[in-house]
Amino acid sequence: MSLEGAPCIKSKSKINDDLMRYLSGRRVDFSKYRVDLQHLTPFQQAVLNETRKIPYGETITYSQLAERVGHPGAARAVGNALAKNPAPPIIPCHRIVAKNGPGGFSFGPKVKERLLSLESLSWRVSSTSARRRSP
C-alpha cells in the first residue's frame, strides 16, 4: 500500500519510509504528518480528526466514534466520512470497526484485517470501550 500521489502529503520520501516501517510491523507515529482536510465537510473533518486520536493498538466501533464527534446514532454517516479518508493509515480508519465484524475499508476487508493484525488487533471490541486483543 502506498500513498504515492496523495495530494495532501508533502514529504513523500519520509512518509514512504514510515509507511514501509509500519507495514513491516513496526510502530510508527503518524501524528507528525499534516493532512489537508479542507475539501471535506465539517462533519467529515471532525470524524477524521477524532480518528487520528485513536492510539496504536486500539480499536473503537463506528457508533463509539459517532458519539465522540457529538452525533450518537450516526454510525453509518461516520462510515461514509471514513470512506473519504485521503491518507490511510496516517488517519487510522482501519481502527474503526463494526460491532459484528471488521466493517468496511476502501482497500477491502482483507487489507483492513491485515492492518489490524500489524497492530496485534482483532476486530472484536467490547460494546463499551476499546479493547486490545489478548496475546
Q: Would you name the residues annotated as active-site residues? A: 93
> Whole-angstrom Cα distance, residue 82 to residue 19?
19
> Whole-angstrom Cα distance, residue 40 to residue 46?
10
SS3 (DSSP) at 48? helix
Q: Are 53 and 31 in contact (CB under 8 A)?
A: no
Q: Are 7 and 36 in contact (CB under 8 A)?
A: yes
